[in-house]
Amino acid sequence: MTYIWQHCPGDIHFKILFEISTTRHLISPFCGVTTCCLYSLNYLTLLEPCRKLVLTDSAVSDVWYYVPPLKKGTVEAADGCLIVNGNKIAVFSERDPKAIPWGKAGAEYVVESTGVFTTTDKASAHLEGGAKKVIISAPSADAPMFVVGVNHESYDPSFKVISNASCTTNCLAPLAKVIHDNFEIVEGLMTTVHATTATQKTVDGPSGKLWRDGRGAQQNIIPASTGAAKAVGKVIPALNGKLTGMAFRVPVPNVSVVDLTVRLGKPASYDAIKQKVKEAAEGPLKGILGYTEDQVVSTDFVGDAHSSIFDAAAGISLNDNFVKLISWYDNEYGYSSRVIDLIKYIQTRD
């Protein structure tokens, strides 16, 4: 089995291939997602028996560039290789995904993390190089979309290209599933207060879409669009057309929070809602949905591997049919953890 992550600074593709026993993986950092994937695997000691790694990035020639994010274990650079816990990552460069010799490298699962090739047609370029499957680490207009813990079991081995949805959809969908299954969501609005991402400007600059999208990320709270709520309708068909939402980009480097305000079909006290979420977090959604009653703030969730952590102390209800629910997520590490989980699952089905 091979896992592959891809990074594209501009039009440049970055690859890391590593083999775990008889398993091969490829990882690369894009907006922190793939750095978190590699960090997570290393933290879980999965990298220890690793025998072979390959990395490509035609934008960066100095392998020391990749050392700082990998602080677990020993990291060094020598002879054009990045060495993590004694395991070598060979470095090479490719610009065109079709030119990457996945088959020759023994690659099977490619994670498309460029944010550019997000349609089935574009992401399929990796298949031409010999990859077996492509997982898009972003929403897709036409690829089957999966959220671990919500609809991943509907995966069909015939799919060649799939999407892991967005970090916000991964936060929202598990919570929405619990609420809908128990209390029926009639309709709802979502707001995500989202950490800065690499697509934003450091200072005011031009924007190809809305003018305010180009305003300085560290100086402003910026209203923005998001398809995360509507995407829930793709992974939970019963909620299709019942949810929509927006985002506020805020000047923090990591960790975001979802505000889900819904009208319920079945009346329920806020305490009853908390109880059902807690049961799910300790049961079928353990490790995916978290639950806390502590007086937490955003930095408390840096490095949290859950997709969504329900903040019981922050939510409110107007009455038994109208409630506001709050759930946190590490939009880098939590999401990256689900990328790994999704690949592990589909590998058992292929």
Report, as residue numbers or ranges, the catalytic residues. Answer: 167
> The tokens 């509907």 sit on which residue?
154
What does pTM read for this prediction?
Answer: 0.84
pLDDT at residue 35, as a whole number: 58
What is the mean predicted confidence (pLDDT) over 196-215?
93
Strands 133-136 and 109-112, bridge-based pairing: parallel
CA dihedral 248, 250, 254, 255 (to 10 degrees): -50
142-166 pLDDT per residue, tens: 999 999 999 999 999 999 999 999 9
Find the helix packing angle between 167-183 and 333-349, rounded to 10°. 70
What type of residue is 286?
Answer: K
What residue ranges of the chain are covered by domains with CATH 3.30.360.10? Answer: 167-331
- Which superfamily does CATH assign the domain made up of 167-331 to? Dihydrodipicolinate Reductase; domain 2 (3.30.360.10)
Q: Which two tokens stand for residue 284?
A: 């079928």
Q: How many helices and strands in the chain, by DSSP H and E?
A: 8, 18
Higher pLDDT, 170 or 1: 170
Look at 312 and 37; give whichever has higher pLDDT: 312
Joined tokens for residue 202: 């450091």
Which of 37-51, 70-84, 136-150 shows the lowest per-residue confidence on average (mean pLDDT)? 37-51
Residue with tokens 């009208």: 263
| 2-138 CATH, one of 1.10.3210.10, 3.40.50.720, 3.20.20.70, 3.40.190.10 | 3.40.50.720
By the 8 A CB rule, do 22 and 106 touch? no
pLDDT at 22: 31
- The lowest-confidence range among 91-95, 217-221, 263-267 is 91-95
Confidence of residue 60 (pLDDT cuts 50, 70, 90): very low
- Residues spanned by CATH 3.40.50.720 within the chain? 2-138
